[in-house]
Amino acid sequence: MGVTRHIIYRHVGPDGPLGFPNSPTTFSEAATSQECTMMTIGDPCGRMRRSKAATSGSSVCVSALMLAGCSGDTHLSFLDPQGPVASGQRWHFVESLAVLLVFVAIPVFVLTAWFLWRYRYGAKSSRYTPKWNYSALLEIASWAGPVVIVVLLGIIVWRATHALDPYKPLASDQPALRLQIIGYDWKWLFIYPDQGIASIGVLALPVGRPVAIQLTSATVMQSLHIPALGSQIYAMGGMVTQLHLQADRPGRSLGENNMYNGNGFHQQRFSAVAMTPERFSAWVDEVHLHGIALNDQSLKHISQRSTRAELIAALSQPGASDGNIYFKGATDALFSTVVKATKSGTPVAPASVRQEFANRAPLAARKPTESATDKVQ
């Protein structure tokens, strides 16, 4: 960390999402801070260390809610699936890879090596037929082999693509949890419209219940990806995409943006934390109690081009001290408002071309955001 001025955002928060100073929780301060220390030491990946910016002002960390999330490493990969979508994808991946290795790679590798050795220049006794260049049988085999493989794969692919379409709601006896996600530069805002809360930096999910997500972007194109839970999907300004996920067991998974969107791109990460339904509702209550109001003013800050750490500094409010930010007062209308606003932009009225161009912001005036972020890096 000290080597450079980069602040790489670490997952300080997920295990203690509610880092409100002096938050009157049901957990004793002593117990939690002790636990924090313990976990800080015990965390094999050193994930508990905090960047200075993020920790400032935080003295207490309520992590009991998140114990499960803390217990292991972050799940990075769909090969270590935490839900039905990812495990379906893993199975499909293994199956396809096996077909390809067994029927494509191995035959080519073995035969080529064998031919090369047997028919090397020095080999005097192997057959040599310099003019032989056609054999109907071999030709047919060369075409038919791949055809068969592709047909086989094609069937698998057709089925898997439809089964795992991210737009397809997951079958479940529980109603899906609605979630709306807005991509900002360089953070995701997770809105729980039915709970009336929102968060940045941590995505809390109840275990065993499908999550129906709508995504949009308030800026450029982004791609939400939580490998251990399931698919990635683009989020685009003025548009709404959908994603369905589910976590099967408590745990913390890596979440990120996969579509480059500027200097803070690599810091646009978060933790998807799956927890038991009870803990989830406790978490929701907690956020209601201590979240920052999601109003015009905080939204103005959020929509700046800034990393999460910069945003926290800008908000300069308690409730953000563990590196994540929690909001109360999120409404159902917010998401569609953002979609519409992004889509319409600022209407331009003039009748003549000259005026039309006059309305565009001067290039020089558009620059500053870049230099602002340079400072932090």
Tell me the closest approach of the beta carbon of residue 146 to another protein, in angstroms: 4
Does residue 36 belong to the site contacting ligand CUA (CB under 6 A)? yes
Does residue 230 belong to the site contacting another protein (CB under 8 A)? yes
Does residue 300 belong to the site contacting another protein (CB under 8 A)? no
CA 366 – CA 353 distance, rounded (Å): 21
Does residue 50 belong to the site contacting another protein (CB under 8 A)? no
CA distances from 308 to 134, 303, 356 (A): 65, 11, 36
Question: Judged by CB, which is closer to another protein: 293, or 358?
Answer: 358
Does residue 42 belong to the site contacting another protein (CB under 8 A)? no
Does residue 16 belong to the site contacting ligand CUA (CB under 6 A)? yes
Tell me the closest approach of the beta carbon of residue 142 to ligand HEA, in angstroms: 9
- How many Cα atoms occupy the beta-carbon half-sphere of 332 within 13 Å? 3
Question: Judged by CB, which is closer to ligand HEA: 60, or 254?
Answer: 254
One of 67, 79, 149, 289 touching ligand HEA (CB under 6 A): 149
Does residue 146 belong to the site contacting ligand HEA (CB under 6 A)? yes
Does residue 61 belong to the site contacting ligand CUA (CB under 6 A)? yes
Question: Judged by CB, which is closer to another protein: 26, or 134?
Answer: 134
One of 29, 176, 208, 265 touching another protein (CB under 8 A): 265
The answer to whether the CB of 99 falls within 8 A of the CB of 153 is yes
Does residue 94 belong to the site contacting ligand HEA (CB under 6 A)? no
Query: Contact letters (x/-) for ligand CUA, 70-109, by CB under 6 A?
Result: x---------------------------------------
197, β-bridge pairs:
192, 328
The answer to whether the CB of 246 falls within 8 A of the CB of 210 is yes
Q: Are strands 211-217 and 202-206 parallel, antiparallel or unpaired?
A: unpaired
- Spell out the residues 6+ positions from residue 235 whose beta carbon is closer than 8 angstroms to its own: 181, 182, 183, 215, 216, 217, 221, 222, 223, 224, 241
Tell me the closest approach of the beta carbon of residue 264 to ligand HEA, in angstroms: 16
One of 98, 109, 175, 300 touching another protein (CB under 8 A): 109
188, β-bridge pairs:
183
Task: Give the pair of three-digit tokens for residue 321.
Answer: 């001290």
Tell me the closest approach of the beta carbon of residue 103 to ligand CUA, in angstroms: 48
- Residue whose beta carbon is closest to ligand HEA: 146
Amino acid identity of residue 331, one-letter, is: T
CA 260 – CA 366 distance, rounded (Å): 20
Instruction: Indicate which of ligand HEA, another protein, ligand CUA, none lies near residue 52 (CB less than 5 to 8 Å, by partner kind).
Output: none
The answer to whether the CB of 176 falls within 8 A of the CB of 169 is yes
The answer to whether the CB of 328 falls within 8 A of the CB of 288 is yes
205, β-bridge pairs:
274
Handedness of CA 268, 205, 78, 169 (dihedral sign): negative
Rule CB under 6 A: which residues touch ligand HEA?
A: 104, 108, 146, 149-150
Interface contacts to ligand CUA, rule CB under 6 A: 15-16, 36, 39, 61, 63, 70
